[in-house]
Amino acid sequence: MGAVAAAIRDLGYVVSGSDDNVYPPMSTFLAAKQIPIASGFRPENLPADVDLVVVGNAISRGNPELEAVLDRNLLYRSLPETLKEFFLQGKQNIVITGTHGKTTTTSLVTWIFREAGLAPGFLIGGIAKDLGQGAAFPDSRHFVIEGDEYDTAFFDKRSKFLHYLPQTLVINNIEFDHADIFESLEEILLSFRRLVNVVPRSGRIFINADDPRCTAVTEHSFAPVHTVGFSESASMRIENVKYHEQGSRFTLGAQIFEMRLLGAFNIRNAAMAISVARAYGIPETVIEQAVGSFNGVARRQEVRGEVNGIKIIDDFGHHPTAIKETLLALRCRYPQGRLWAIFEPRSNTTRRAVFQTELPEALSIADGVVMAPVARLDQLPANDRLDPLKVIKTIQDAGKPAYYESTVDDIVNRMKPLARSGDAVVVFSNGGFGGIHEKLLKELSAG
């Protein structure tokens, strides 16, 4: 919301906004753009002569400012609709979708296009280390956007990505997620089918050749479909994969690529980005250089520090598949030491019992596990909650040390005597997790 508000302000409009919690860095960014933000929602925050109200995804009926918008019969739109109207019409929009890998793939496509001198616009749900920001809106023919399947707004329960006017569509993979808004995998597949149905005949679609669900949702596509993956049937096949502590090597077609990222998922993310870049005629040498220099995305296998030979790693992973692939990748990067996983069930899906079986299977790849309580437990009915004690017992029964601790300090105290030089401790959470990374570094440095 903040990035789009600033971009609209740069077009010459007068922009103001409201939010419950306004704090740096977004508050200082918006202040520099001369965008006043009211703390709290009130009818009087709405200017008398307002032309358009953009309603965020987190706003629901009962919000006093929203109720005033409806009572005054003002023009209102969702953020995705606003993006479409102000920035996406008439552009070559590259929309990156899928349960996993959206942020990394979107960042890498943007980085390759930048290195090719194309200066694309972009909107990414994370901060790519090479880009330094999550969004940019230059006057460019190309726009690269992370396409989220989450719902659009209180008045539009379709997936956000349906508004993004894709000329090029990437579908990385499809799994069940977002249990708070989707009842079943079939509902998610329906959203992807609807997305495929709005890609023009002159467009193109790149899908994961190794995921039959991607094939299923593109069966009736009007646009040509290209397959990318490890499968022999892939039209762009990944081969000759080698992992080493500094990254990965693979071939796609006749070209060899080296990159700093690890793991099969990241190789497929890179292969998708390479395939998109080739489709836009970017020279192979530019693509190779950009892939090799790409430093990844913040909070994806990110080393936050090292003390006494123990590495503390931050990872955004919260879906069992993402946790599994991250742990497998870290095994390649740190083959000598032990690998510890600390997990906070915080996402709307992992707080629920839907992954009660899959979570211990994924976490058991680590040499040991510490688990935090389920976040916002009171918001879930008892029969819908993940049982962390059951997750821990399943891991223990598999022969791995596993612990449940009720506070961040307890987790840190548990890890302190367990971790030793050569170990890596990866923290999985899609939130701040009470500053656990800094606390671990501080306590482990104390010996």
The reply to whether 125 and 58 lie within a common domain is no
Indicate which CATH number applies to the domain containing 53.
Answer: 3.40.50.720
Indicate which CATH number applies to the domain containing 432.
Answer: 3.90.190.20
Question: pLDDT-based confidence at 447, cuts 50/70/90?
Answer: low
Residue 23 has pLDDT above 80, yes or no: no
Question: pLDDT-based confidence at 378, cuts 50/70/90?
Answer: confident
The reply to whether 127 and 248 lie within a common domain is yes
Residue 34 has pLDDT above 80, yes or no: yes
* Secondary structure string (H, E, C) spanning 385-420: ECCHHHHHHHHHHCCCCEEECCCHHHHHHHHHHHCC
The reply to whether 340 and 389 lie within a common domain is yes
Span 357-373, pLDDT tens digits: 889 999 999 999 999 98
> Could you say which of 249, 275, 293 is where a domain stops?
293
Question: In the chain, what's the furthest Cα-to-Cα distance?
Answer: 66
Measure the CA–CA gap between 407 and 427, rounded to whole angstroms.
14
Indicate which CATH number applies to the domain containing 282.
Answer: 3.40.1190.10
The reply to whether 321 and 377 lie within a common domain is yes
Question: pLDDT-based confidence at 265, cuts 50/70/90?
Answer: confident
Residue 303 has pLDDT above 70, yes or no: yes
Measure the CA–CA gap between 374 and 327, rounded to whole angstroms.
21
Span 209-220, pLDDT tens digits: 999 999 999 999
| Cα pseudo-dihedral 354, 356, 357, 360, rounded to 10 | 130
Side chain identity at residue 168, one-letter code:
T
| Cα pseudo-dihedral 122, 128, 129, 132, rounded to 10 | 40
The reply to whether 21 and 103 lie within a common domain is no
Average pLDDT over residues 2-30: 88
State the chain's mean pLDDT as an integer: 92
The reply to whether 159 and 239 lie within a common domain is yes
The reply to whether 93 and 210 lie within a common domain is yes
Instruction: Write out the residue range of the structural domain in which residue 226 sits.
Output: 81-293
The residue whose two tokens read 């440095």 is 445
Span 109-153, pLDDT tens digits: 999 999 999 999 999 987 788 887 888 999 999 999 999 998 999
Residue 383 has pLDDT above 70, yes or no: yes
Residue 170 has pLDDT above 90, yes or no: yes
Q: How many domains does the chain have?
A: 3
Structural contact between residues 200 and 209, judged by C-beta atoms closer than 8 angstroms? no
The reply to whether 56 and 88 lie within a common domain is no
First to last CA, the chain: 44
The reply to whether 412 and 281 lie within a common domain is no
Which residue would you say has higher pLDDT here, 170 or 181? 170
The reply to whether 40 and 132 lie within a common domain is no
The reply to whether 281 and 392 lie within a common domain is no
